[in-house]
């Protein structure tokens, strides 16, 4: 079932989210109108005196995807927010290459400006700051459409020192019933939740030493991988080169992956406290939970692995009722670029952008419904629009690109807000 529908009264006061069936009934009886499509919100045509139930917002921050969940007595709304940190990094590297090329050309001398390069306290790199800001954007949006009385954040801490040396003492999560959850969770994320040797998924995975302990292998995280029971037993204490002698591609992949830097862990470590401080500025009480506690709750309750369900398991959870099966999939797309000209690979301008953004009432990033009468893509399509001054547009849907799309066949669904959506 889809997410519950947000409801606000005519004064835009948030009310209790309702079942999609009830929302459909209110729209049919003309007691409400559609306020926005993503996330789906309806506005009543009268002032309501309904007593609202408190809702808890739970957040599972991630390097690539952040899980969001709203709970009252059950999970009634969930979303998975995909960040664009890698896209920002690629854009910055491209800009750096173009500027470096320009400095080496025979152009006018530009005196270096080193005095304006100071950074404020708490500065985060653009890719990291983006993760915090997009998460906070959606927290503020949800506060407007639901009566949220508290926030629970998973304060992820992949302690890289403890991962390298499990004998380090003084860390609470390494003792008691949560022992081993942090290391196992990191390995699951690193190796894609499948056997590194045969690639089997949806089975019980065991922690495997690439170089066996009996041969001098350590418990460093770079020497650990995941394997199914059969592969683990078959390998034994054989060197990995011997075990995978007939699979050179798999051998190269495992050896390369074992030496990868702890990039995602470092990203989450860098942003967790910044996000916590920003959440406290909302004025709502913020509870914290560890990644090991989240997985312990998920395993204990038998909940499948999804980002929004991980968010629902943050903190102390005794029981969990899930009333939805389809979260809202949100992907950060940004607002375009500020460059007024497009350059070739050498950094020379080849075309200039127009100062006009909207054409025929639409602009790039709008989500529209196109009813195409003829042609290869005849039918009804919903997707994200790319506009052209000619009135012949393109759109990207869940199944691929649709082109050409003429302006006269377009109906607006959702104005551009820097994100794309899918159910």
Identify the CATH number of the domain in which residue 189 sits. 1.10.30
* pLDDT > 70 in the chain, percent: 91
Task: State the number of CA atoms in the 13 A half-sphere of 51 facing the CB.
Answer: 0
Residue 21, both tokens: 């069936």
Residue 128 lies in a domain: no
Q: Which of 195, 226, 261 is the C-terminal boundary of a domain? A: 261
Q: Which one is predicted more confidently, 192 or 407? A: 407
Q: What is the pLDDT of residue 182?
A: 66
Cα gap 318→293, rounded to integer Å? 12
Sign of the CA dihedral with 88 first, then 66, 399, and 403 last? negative
Q: What is the pLDDT of residue 94?
A: 84
Residue 26 lies in a domain: yes
Show Cβ contacts of residue 360 under 8 Å, excluding neighbours closer than 6 positions.
387, 391, 407, 410
Residues in the chain: 423
pTM of the complete model beyond 0.75: yes
Q: Which of 198, 228, 261 is the C-terminal boundary of a domain? A: 261
CB atoms within 10 A of CB 261: 8
Q: What is the pLDDT of residue 110?
A: 66
Q: What is the pLDDT of residue 179?
A: 52
Number of H helices, E strands in the chain: 11, 19
Q: Give me the domain span that covers residue 415.
A: 354-422
Cα gap 13→421, rounded to integer Å? 25
Among the ranges given (2-11, 22-31, 59-68, 290-299), the one the predictor scored with the smallest mean pLDDT: 290-299
pLDDT at 102 over 90: no
Tokens 């419904």 found at? 369
Cα gap 269→161, rounded to integer Å? 13
Residue 266 lies in a domain: no
Residue whose C-alpha is closest to residue 59's, from 2, 4, 7, 134: 134
pLDDT at 61 over 80: yes
Cα gap 274→271, rounded to integer Å? 5
Residue 186 lies in a domain: yes
Q: Which one is predicted more confidently, 188 or 150? A: 150
Q: Which one is predicted more confidently, 107 or 133? A: 133
Residue 139, both tokens: 């927290």
Torsion of CA 82, 84, 86, 87, to 10 degrees: 140
Q: pLDDT digit string (tens) for 112-164? A: 677 667 788 888 999 999 999 999 999 999 999 999 999 999 986 555 555 55
**Could you give the 3-state DSSP secondary structure of residue 410?**
strand
Identify the CATH number of the domain in which residue 385 sits. 2.30.30
Q: pLDDT digit string (tens) for 324-366? A: 989 999 999 998 887 788 888 777 788 888 888 899 999 999 9
Per-residue confidence at 174, pLDDT binned at 50, 70, 90?
Answer: very low
Q: What is the pLDDT of residue 337?
A: 80
Tokens 């599972």 found at? 60
Q: What is the pLDDT of residue 172?
A: 45
Tell the burial category of 300 from Cβ atoms under 10 Å away from its Cβ (0-12, 13-18, 19+). Answer: middle
Per-residue confidence at 178, pLDDT binned at 50, 70, 90?
Answer: very low
Domains of the chain: total: 3
Q: Which of 261, 281, 310 is the C-terminal boundary of a domain? A: 261
Tokens 């399509």 found at? 381
Residue whose C-alpha is closest to residue 333's, from 414, 238, 240: 414
Q: pLDDT digit string (tens) for 215-244? A: 778 887 788 889 999 999 998 888 888 888
Residue 268, both tokens: 């989450």
Cα gap 373→249, rounded to integer Å? 49
């Amino acid at each position: 079932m889809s997410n519950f529908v947000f409801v606000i009264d005519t004064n835009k006061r948030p009310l209790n989210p309702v079942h999609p069936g009830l929302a459909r009934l209110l729209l049919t009886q003309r007691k409400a109108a559609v306020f926005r499509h993503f996330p789906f919100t309806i506005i009543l045509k009268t002032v309501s005196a309904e007593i609202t139930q408190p809702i808890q917002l739970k957040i599972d921050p991630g390097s690539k995807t952040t899980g969001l969940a709203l709970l009252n007595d059950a999970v009634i709304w969930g979303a998975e927010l995909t960040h664009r940190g890698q896209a920002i990094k690629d854009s910055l590297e491209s800009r750096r290459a173009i500027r470096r090329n320009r400095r080496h050309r025979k152009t006018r001398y530009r005196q270096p400006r080193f005095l304006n390069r100071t950074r404020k306290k708490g500065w985060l790199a653009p890719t990291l700051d983006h993760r915090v800001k997009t998460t906070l954007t959606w927290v503020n949006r949800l506060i407007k459409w639901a009566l949220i009385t508290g926030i629970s954040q998973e304060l992820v801490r992949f302690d890289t020192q403890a991962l390298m040396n499990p004998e380090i003492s003084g860390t609470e999560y390494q003792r008691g019933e949560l022992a081993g959850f942090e290391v196992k969770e990191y390995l699951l994320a690193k190796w894609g939740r499948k056997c590194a040797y045969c690639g089997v998924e949806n089975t019980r995975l065991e922690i495997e030493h690439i170089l066996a302990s009996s041969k001098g292998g350590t418990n460093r995280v770079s020497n650990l991988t995941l394997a199914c029971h059969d592969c683990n037993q078959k390998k034994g204490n054989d060197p990995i080169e011997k075990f995978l002698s007939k699979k050179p591609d798999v051998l190269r992949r495992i050896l390369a992956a074992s030496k990868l830097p702890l990039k995602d862990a470092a990203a989450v470590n860098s942003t967790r406290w910044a996000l916590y401080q920003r959440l406290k500025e909302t004025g709502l009480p913020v509870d914290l939970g560890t990644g090991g506690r989240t997985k312990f709750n998920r395993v204990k309750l038998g909940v499948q692995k999804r980002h929004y369900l991980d968010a629902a398991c943050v903190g102390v959870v005794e029981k969990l009722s899930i009333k939805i099966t389809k979260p809202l999939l949100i992907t950060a797309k940004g607002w375009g670029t500020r460059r007024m000209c497009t350059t070739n690979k050498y950094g020379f301008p080849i075309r200039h952008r127009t100062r006009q953004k909207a054409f025929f009432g639409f602009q790039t990033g709008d989500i529209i419904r196109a009813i195409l009468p003829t042609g290869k893509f005849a039918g009804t399509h919903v997707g994200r629009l790319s506009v052209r001054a000619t009135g012949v547009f393109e759109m990207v849907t869940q199944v691929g690109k649709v082109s050409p799309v003429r302006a006269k066949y377009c109906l607006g669904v959702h104005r551009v807000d820097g994100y794309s959506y899918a159910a």
